[in-house]
Amino acid sequence: MKLVITATLAATASAFAPAASTVRTTPSLAASLNGWTPDESAFAWGLPGSLDPAPEFDPFGFAKNTDLQTMKKWREAETQHGRVAMLAAVGMLVTEEPIEYHPLFEADNKDIGPAIRHLDEVRAVEPLFFLAFAAFIGALEWNRALKGFSKPEGEFEFQQIEDDYYPGDVGFDPLGLKPKDSADFAVMQTKELQNGRLAMLGAAGMIAQELQNGKEIFVNLGLAQDRFDPSSVPIQF
Protein backbone atom coordinates (compact mmCIF):
# COMPACT_ATOMS: atom_id res chain seq x y z
CA MET A 1 0.00 0.00 0.00
CA LYS A 2 2.90 2.38 0.72
CA LEU A 3 4.22 1.71 -2.77
CA VAL A 4 0.78 2.31 -4.32
CA ILE A 5 0.35 5.68 -2.62
CA THR A 6 3.94 6.75 -3.34
CA ALA A 7 3.64 5.77 -7.00
CA THR A 8 0.29 7.54 -7.27
CA LEU A 9 1.64 10.81 -5.87
CA ALA A 10 4.81 10.72 -7.95
CA ALA A 11 3.09 9.85 -11.20
CA THR A 12 0.33 12.37 -10.56
CA ALA A 13 2.94 15.10 -10.42
CA SER A 14 4.53 13.88 -13.64
CA ALA A 15 1.15 13.92 -15.34
CA PHE A 16 1.23 17.73 -15.17
CA ALA A 17 4.37 17.88 -17.27
CA PRO A 18 3.96 19.10 -20.87
CA ALA A 19 2.76 16.30 -23.12
CA ALA A 20 3.31 15.86 -26.82
CA SER A 21 0.01 15.87 -28.69
CA THR A 22 -0.89 13.66 -31.62
CA VAL A 23 -4.03 15.63 -32.37
CA ARG A 24 -4.58 16.75 -35.97
CA THR A 25 -7.00 19.63 -36.46
CA THR A 26 -9.22 20.68 -39.33
CA PRO A 27 -11.58 23.67 -39.45
CA SER A 28 -14.63 21.44 -40.02
CA LEU A 29 -14.16 19.39 -36.84
CA ALA A 30 -12.55 21.90 -34.51
CA ALA A 31 -15.86 23.08 -33.06
CA SER A 32 -17.57 19.71 -32.61
CA LEU A 33 -14.69 17.44 -31.64
CA ASN A 34 -12.37 19.84 -29.82
CA GLY A 35 -9.89 19.90 -32.69
CA TRP A 36 -9.47 16.13 -32.87
CA THR A 37 -9.62 14.54 -36.30
CA PRO A 38 -9.86 10.73 -36.25
CA ASP A 39 -6.73 9.30 -37.83
CA GLU A 40 -6.85 5.56 -38.54
CA SER A 41 -3.07 5.41 -39.00
CA ALA A 42 -2.37 6.91 -35.54
CA PHE A 43 -2.39 5.11 -32.20
CA ALA A 44 -5.93 5.01 -30.75
CA TRP A 45 -7.14 6.99 -33.77
CA GLY A 46 -5.06 9.97 -32.64
CA LEU A 47 -6.87 10.50 -29.34
CA PRO A 48 -4.85 12.17 -26.56
CA GLY A 49 -3.57 10.08 -23.68
CA SER A 50 -0.16 8.84 -24.82
CA LEU A 51 2.63 10.05 -22.54
CA ASP A 52 6.32 9.37 -22.04
CA PRO A 53 8.09 7.31 -20.75
CA ALA A 54 5.63 4.69 -22.04
CA PRO A 55 3.95 6.20 -25.11
CA GLU A 56 1.30 4.16 -26.93
CA PHE A 57 1.10 1.79 -23.97
CA ASP A 58 -1.14 -1.08 -25.05
CA PRO A 59 0.47 -4.42 -24.06
CA PHE A 60 -2.62 -6.46 -24.95
CA GLY A 61 -3.20 -4.76 -28.31
CA PHE A 62 -6.73 -3.54 -27.60
CA ALA A 63 -6.22 -0.45 -29.78
CA LYS A 64 -4.83 -2.42 -32.72
CA ASN A 65 -7.19 -2.70 -35.71
CA THR A 66 -10.03 -1.29 -33.61
CA ASP A 67 -12.81 0.56 -35.41
CA LEU A 68 -13.52 4.20 -34.57
CA GLN A 69 -16.87 3.58 -32.88
CA THR A 70 -15.38 1.02 -30.49
CA MET A 71 -12.39 3.23 -29.74
CA LYS A 72 -14.67 6.13 -28.84
CA LYS A 73 -16.73 3.89 -26.54
CA TRP A 74 -13.60 2.68 -24.78
CA ARG A 75 -12.29 6.21 -24.32
CA GLU A 76 -15.67 7.34 -23.03
CA ALA A 77 -15.66 4.52 -20.47
CA GLU A 78 -12.04 5.16 -19.49
CA THR A 79 -12.62 8.88 -18.97
CA GLN A 80 -15.74 8.43 -16.86
CA HIS A 81 -14.26 5.64 -14.75
CA GLY A 82 -11.13 7.74 -14.19
CA ARG A 83 -13.20 10.67 -12.94
CA VAL A 84 -15.12 8.48 -10.52
CA ALA A 85 -11.88 6.90 -9.31
CA MET A 86 -10.27 10.29 -8.65
CA LEU A 87 -13.25 11.28 -6.50
CA ALA A 88 -13.15 7.89 -4.77
CA ALA A 89 -9.43 8.02 -4.00
CA VAL A 90 -9.66 11.50 -2.49
CA GLY A 91 -12.91 10.68 -0.70
CA MET A 92 -11.50 7.58 0.96
CA LEU A 93 -8.48 9.42 2.35
CA VAL A 94 -10.43 12.47 3.54
CA THR A 95 -13.23 10.60 5.32
CA GLU A 96 -10.97 8.27 7.30
CA GLU A 97 -8.47 8.68 10.15
CA PRO A 98 -6.88 11.10 10.86
CA ILE A 99 -8.85 13.70 8.86
CA GLU A 100 -12.31 12.16 9.22
CA TYR A 101 -14.26 14.83 7.39
CA HIS A 102 -17.66 13.48 6.41
CA PRO A 103 -20.83 15.57 5.91
CA LEU A 104 -23.13 12.62 6.73
CA PHE A 105 -21.62 11.39 10.01
CA GLU A 106 -20.82 12.86 13.42
CA ALA A 107 -17.18 11.89 13.21
CA ASP A 108 -16.31 13.90 16.32
CA ASN A 109 -18.38 11.51 18.45
CA LYS A 110 -17.06 8.22 17.09
CA ASP A 111 -14.80 6.73 14.47
CA ILE A 112 -16.87 5.85 11.40
CA GLY A 113 -14.57 3.11 10.13
CA PRO A 114 -13.24 2.25 6.69
CA ALA A 115 -14.73 4.15 3.75
CA ILE A 116 -15.72 0.98 1.90
CA ARG A 117 -18.65 0.58 4.32
CA HIS A 118 -19.86 4.18 4.61
CA LEU A 119 -22.66 3.79 2.08
CA ASP A 120 -23.76 0.63 3.90
CA GLU A 121 -24.10 2.72 7.05
CA VAL A 122 -26.09 5.35 5.15
CA ARG A 123 -28.44 2.71 3.78
CA ALA A 124 -28.91 1.17 7.22
CA VAL A 125 -29.62 4.48 8.97
CA GLU A 126 -31.47 6.41 6.24
CA PRO A 127 -32.61 4.26 3.28
CA LEU A 128 -34.44 7.16 1.62
CA PHE A 129 -31.25 9.21 1.38
CA PHE A 130 -29.50 6.24 -0.19
CA LEU A 131 -32.28 5.95 -2.78
CA ALA A 132 -32.09 9.68 -3.51
CA PHE A 133 -28.32 9.37 -3.97
CA ALA A 134 -28.82 6.48 -6.40
CA ALA A 135 -31.41 8.53 -8.31
CA PHE A 136 -28.96 11.44 -8.52
CA ILE A 137 -26.31 9.19 -10.06
CA GLY A 138 -28.89 7.81 -12.46
CA ALA A 139 -29.82 11.34 -13.54
CA LEU A 140 -26.18 12.14 -14.29
CA GLU A 141 -25.85 8.98 -16.37
CA TRP A 142 -29.12 9.73 -18.17
CA ASN A 143 -27.82 13.19 -19.09
CA ARG A 144 -24.57 11.66 -20.37
CA ALA A 145 -26.52 9.19 -22.49
CA LEU A 146 -28.61 11.97 -24.02
CA LYS A 147 -25.50 14.04 -24.68
CA GLY A 148 -23.25 11.48 -26.31
CA PHE A 149 -25.16 8.36 -27.34
CA SER A 150 -27.39 7.83 -30.37
CA LYS A 151 -31.10 7.25 -30.00
CA PRO A 152 -32.23 3.64 -30.54
CA GLU A 153 -33.81 4.14 -33.94
CA GLY A 154 -33.05 3.14 -37.53
CA GLU A 155 -29.74 1.34 -38.00
CA PHE A 156 -28.71 1.31 -34.39
CA GLU A 157 -25.80 -0.29 -32.54
CA PHE A 158 -25.83 -0.77 -28.76
CA GLN A 159 -24.01 2.10 -27.01
CA GLN A 160 -23.48 3.88 -30.30
CA ILE A 161 -21.61 7.17 -29.84
CA GLU A 162 -22.79 10.21 -31.76
CA ASP A 163 -20.45 11.24 -34.57
CA ASP A 164 -20.14 14.80 -33.25
CA TYR A 165 -19.55 13.77 -29.62
CA TYR A 166 -16.05 13.89 -28.17
CA PRO A 167 -15.60 11.07 -25.60
CA GLY A 168 -16.01 12.43 -22.09
CA ASP A 169 -17.07 15.96 -23.06
CA VAL A 170 -20.49 16.11 -21.39
CA GLY A 171 -20.48 19.91 -21.28
CA PHE A 172 -19.93 20.16 -17.51
CA ASP A 173 -17.40 22.92 -16.86
CA PRO A 174 -18.70 25.24 -14.10
CA LEU A 175 -15.27 26.84 -13.53
CA GLY A 176 -14.54 27.43 -17.22
CA LEU A 177 -11.31 25.41 -17.19
CA LYS A 178 -11.72 23.84 -20.61
CA PRO A 179 -9.15 25.35 -23.02
CA LYS A 180 -10.45 26.84 -26.23
CA ASP A 181 -7.31 25.94 -28.15
CA SER A 182 -7.37 22.35 -29.45
CA ALA A 183 -3.70 21.70 -28.62
CA ASP A 184 -4.15 22.93 -25.04
CA PHE A 185 -7.28 20.79 -24.74
CA ALA A 186 -5.33 17.69 -25.83
CA VAL A 187 -2.66 18.40 -23.18
CA MET A 188 -5.30 18.88 -20.47
CA GLN A 189 -7.13 15.71 -21.41
CA THR A 190 -3.89 13.75 -21.32
CA LYS A 191 -3.34 15.01 -17.77
CA GLU A 192 -6.88 14.04 -16.82
CA LEU A 193 -6.50 10.58 -18.32
CA GLN A 194 -3.17 9.94 -16.61
CA ASN A 195 -4.49 11.04 -13.22
CA GLY A 196 -7.65 8.99 -13.78
CA ARG A 197 -5.66 5.88 -14.65
CA LEU A 198 -3.53 6.26 -11.55
CA ALA A 199 -6.63 6.89 -9.45
CA MET A 200 -8.23 3.67 -10.72
CA LEU A 201 -5.16 1.72 -9.62
CA GLY A 202 -4.90 3.62 -6.34
CA ALA A 203 -8.60 3.28 -5.45
CA ALA A 204 -8.56 -0.42 -6.33
CA GLY A 205 -5.52 -0.94 -4.10
CA MET A 206 -7.08 0.91 -1.16
CA ILE A 207 -10.37 -0.96 -1.50
CA ALA A 208 -8.58 -4.30 -1.66
CA GLN A 209 -6.53 -3.41 1.43
CA GLU A 210 -9.59 -2.46 3.46
CA LEU A 211 -11.48 -5.55 2.35
CA GLN A 212 -8.53 -7.67 3.43
CA ASN A 213 -8.36 -6.56 7.07
CA GLY A 214 -11.10 -3.95 7.63
CA LYS A 215 -8.66 -1.22 8.65
CA GLU A 216 -8.42 2.32 7.32
CA ILE A 217 -5.63 3.36 4.96
CA PHE A 218 -3.59 5.57 7.28
CA VAL A 219 -4.08 3.05 10.09
CA ASN A 220 -2.59 0.38 7.84
CA LEU A 221 0.35 2.69 7.16
CA GLY A 222 0.90 3.25 10.88
CA LEU A 223 0.17 6.97 10.54
CA ALA A 224 -3.08 7.06 12.50
CA GLN A 225 -4.56 5.48 15.61
CA ASP A 226 -7.09 2.69 15.16
CA ARG A 227 -10.12 3.92 17.11
CA PHE A 228 -12.80 2.09 15.11
CA ASP A 229 -15.26 -0.02 17.06
CA PRO A 230 -17.26 -2.25 14.66
CA SER A 231 -20.04 -2.61 17.24
CA SER A 232 -20.71 1.15 17.07
CA VAL A 233 -22.20 0.97 13.57
CA PRO A 234 -25.43 -0.73 12.42
CA ILE A 235 -23.69 -3.11 9.98
CA GLN A 236 -21.57 -6.21 10.33
CA PHE A 237 -17.88 -6.06 9.37
* 48-67 confidence digits (pLDDT tens): 999 888 899 999 998 999 99
The overall average pLDDT reported for the chain is 83
Q: Is 7 within 8 Å of 27 (Cβ atoms)?
A: no
Note the pTM of the prediction, 2 decimals.
Answer: 0.80
Percent of the chain with pLDDT over 90: 52
Say whether 69 counts as a known binding-site residue. Answer: no
Say whether 81 counts as a known binding-site residue. Answer: yes
**The domain 2-232: what is its CATH number?**
1.10.3460.10
Say whether 24 counts as a known binding-site residue. Answer: no
Say whether 123 counts as a known binding-site residue. Answer: no
Rounded-to-integer distance, Cα 62 and Cα 58, Å:
7
Say whether 197 counts as a known binding-site residue. Answer: yes
Rounded-to-integer distance, Cα 204 and Cα 89, Å:
9
Q: pLDDT category, 33, cuts 50, 70, 90?
A: confident
101 Rama class: left (phi>0) / alpha (psi -120 to 50) / beta: beta
pLDDT in tens, 111-148: 778 999 888 888 888 889 888 999 999 999 999 999 99
Q: Is 228 within 8 Å of 114 (Cβ atoms)?
A: yes
Say whether 192 counts as a known binding-site residue. Answer: yes
Say whether 153 counts as a known binding-site residue. Answer: no
Say whether 187 counts as a known binding-site residue. Answer: no
